Amino acid sequence: MNENLRADRRTYVTHLECSMTGERFEADRLQGLSRVGRPLLVRYDLDAIRACVSRELIETRPTDMWRWREMLPVRRTESIVSLGEIETPLVLIPRSGGTNVLIKDEGRLPTGSFKARGLVMAVSMARELGVERIGMPTNGNAGAALAAYASRCGIETVILCPEETPEVNVREIAAQGARVWRVNGQIDDCGAIIGRGAAEGRWFDFSTLKEPYRIEGKKTMGFELAAQLGWELPDAIFYPTGGGTGLIGMWKAFDEMEALGWIGSKRPRMYAVQASGCAPIVRAFEAGKEHAERWEDPATVAAGIRVPRAVGDFLILRAVRESGGRAMAVGDPAILKAVDAAARKDGLLLCPEGGATLAAYHAAVREGFVEPYEKVVLFNCATGLKYQMPPTTNVLDRHGEIDLSVL
């Protein structure tokens, strides 16, 4: 265990705040949505942090996620249920992307996806606040991360997945000790069942943005990016957007870092990437709306972004618009082509959602939203190893005649 997980560091949470109305809620107690049914955001005494935590101090610490401890909500070090949340690398993909295109490869995290960031935080807080049972709807990776962290600290989990969830996800959830069911519906249909159980007091509802701490875990992607790029944010970020926790979290991290004096006011343009078969945020963006309507009959190979309705829709749209970015949709053929290109040309196996960001980047360059000389970060949110790959059928009979010239 490194020093970040041994040291007792001061924490600075002051309260929680409704993201819609600004109403204050008490920290250090179990909270779900605000009174008006919107996500709660964690607020800190940033002036006090500024007085005692500098970029230089952060740079002396091991680089894992817990180096940001003063800007995170967990009060007691022993509450942290770590599985080794490393800083993820920025990998250049010069041949399939371009010389200024970096992939933030989140597939290196525990459970093979960036869901580990949000769930390690939310589960650690649930443990700190005495939760014994958690319910969650998931398209796969979030459920896997929840199962792992909750089992590790003895919290029971009930997890519901849409029936189209990748098989590997359902199995890894079960293998990591959760009670998991496939449901003949979409993630919001699963969420409705979880909500009913939560209302009856059977479990605590861990749906995306319905508890305040997953965003705090995801915001470390924003801190990390800044530190990795010499405290200079990139020109553009492409983020595969389902519930949008990571995009909202990074946007929050940028504001917090500016208040701490760590970065200036320059922000990346944020591109929320969706699949053409499920693009509620894109439709709302294009119509100039603040909220997105449910997308009926969603269909895409990128299961993680098959989210017909997002409770934080207005937060995603606000961040995208304030940043000068866009919401963009890409089709499944372009997604699969991008996955193939990154693997063949740059040796990096992306998940389909990561492929979507690469496809959207190329579309953005084609359409003139992004210039090829601009520094761009694309998020690959899970390891490509979890997903189906095209079959290979070649076999060799070692006892027969082998024509080496055709190998």
Ligand X SMILES: Cc1ncc(COP(=O)(O)O)c(C=O)c1O
Query: In whole angstroms, how far apart are CA 71 and each of 12, 55, 136, 150?
Result: 7, 12, 26, 23
Answer for which of 148, 233, 250, 305 binds ligand X (CB under 6 A) is: 305
- Which residues in 144-220 belong to E strands, given as ranges? 156-162, 179-183, 204-205
Residue closer to ligand X, measured from CB, 139 or 157? 139
> DSSP 3-state assignment of 81?
coil
Examine residue 382 and tell whether it contacts ligand X (CB under 6 A).
yes
Residue 252 beta carbon to ligand X: minimum distance, rounded to whole angstroms: 13
Residue closer to ligand X, measured from CB, 32 or 231? 32
Examine residue 357 and tell whether it contacts ligand X (CB under 6 A).
no
Give rounded-to-5 percent helix, strand, coil for the chain.
40, 15, 45
In this chain, which stretch among 32-40, 198-206, 235-243, 323-331 interacts with ligand X, using CB under 6 A?
235-243
Examine residue 242 and tell whether it contacts ligand X (CB under 6 A).
yes
| 266 CB-contact burial (10 Å; exposed 0-12 / middle 13-18 / buried 19+) | exposed
Query: In whole angstroms, how far apart are CA 338 and each of 73, 82, 96, 224, 332?
Result: 37, 33, 8, 25, 10
Examine residue 137 and tell whether it contacts ligand X (CB under 6 A).
no
Q: How many residues does the chain have?
A: 407
Residue closer to ligand X, measured from CB, 157 or 241? 241
Residue closer to ligand X, measured from CB, 176 or 245? 245
Answer for which of 11, 176, 207, 241 binds ligand X (CB under 6 A) is: 241
Residue 28 beta carbon to ligand X: minimum distance, rounded to whole angstroms: 25
User: Using CA atoms, how far apart are residues 337 and 331, in angstroms rounded to an integer?
Assistant: 10
**How many degrees, rounded to 5, is the angle at CA 175 between CA 174 and CA 181?**
5
In eight-state DSSP terms, residue 293 is: P
In this chain, which stretch among 134-142, 145-153, 252-260, 398-406 interacts with ligand X, using CB under 6 A?
134-142
Nearest alpha-carbon partner for 312 in 217, 258, 241, 254: 241
Examine residue 273 and tell whether it contacts ligand X (CB under 6 A).
no
Q: Is the dihedral of CA 118, 119, 120, 126 positive or negative?
A: positive
Residue closer to ligand X, measured from CB, 49 or 142? 142
User: Using CA atoms, how far apart are residues 314 and 1, in angstroms rounded to an integer?
Assistant: 39
Residue closer to ligand X, measured from CB, 11 or 380? 380
Answer for which of 11, 113, 274, 323 binds ligand X (CB under 6 A) is: 113
Number of residues that bind ligand X (CB under 6 A): 18
Nearest alpha-carbon partner for 145 in 348, 388, 382: 382
CA 158 to centroid of chain Cα atoms = 21
The two structure tokens encoding residue 163: 């029936």
Answer for which of 150, 275, 311, 381 binds ligand X (CB under 6 A) is: 381
Q: In the window 165-224, what residues touch ligand X (CB under 6 A)? A: 208
Nearest alpha-carbon partner for 158 in 148, 147, 170: 147
Q: Is the dihedral of CA 339, 342, 347, 352 positive or negative?
A: negative
Residue closer to ligand X, measured from CB, 73 or 137? 137
Residue closer to ligand X, measured from CB, 311 or 376? 311
In this chain, which stretch among 66-74, 170-178, 243-251, 333-341 interacts with ligand X, using CB under 6 A?
243-251
Examine residue 383 and tell whether it contacts ligand X (CB under 6 A).
no
Examine residue 245 and tell whether it contacts ligand X (CB under 6 A).
yes
Q: Edge-to-edge, what's the strand order for the sheet holding 101-105?
A: 90-92, 101-105, 376-380, 236-240, 269-275, 326-330
Residue closer to ligand X, measured from CB, 263 or 315? 315
Answer for which of 39, 137, 212, 243 binds ligand X (CB under 6 A) is: 243
Examine residue 148 and tell whether it contacts ligand X (CB under 6 A).
no
Residue 360 beta carbon to ligand X: minimum distance, rounded to whole angstroms: 13
In this chain, which stretch among 42-50, 64-72, 159-167, 236-244 interacts with ligand X, using CB under 6 A?
236-244
User: Using CA atoms, how far apart are residues 252 and 4, in angstroms rounded to an integer?
Assistant: 23
Residue 120 beta carbon to ligand X: minimum distance, rounded to whole angstroms: 15
Answer for which of 17, 105, 346, 353 binds ligand X (CB under 6 A) is: 353
Examine residue 240 and tell whether it contacts ligand X (CB under 6 A).
yes
Applying CB under 6 A, the residues found at the interface with ligand X are: 113, 139, 141-142, 208, 240-246, 304-305, 351, 353, 381-382
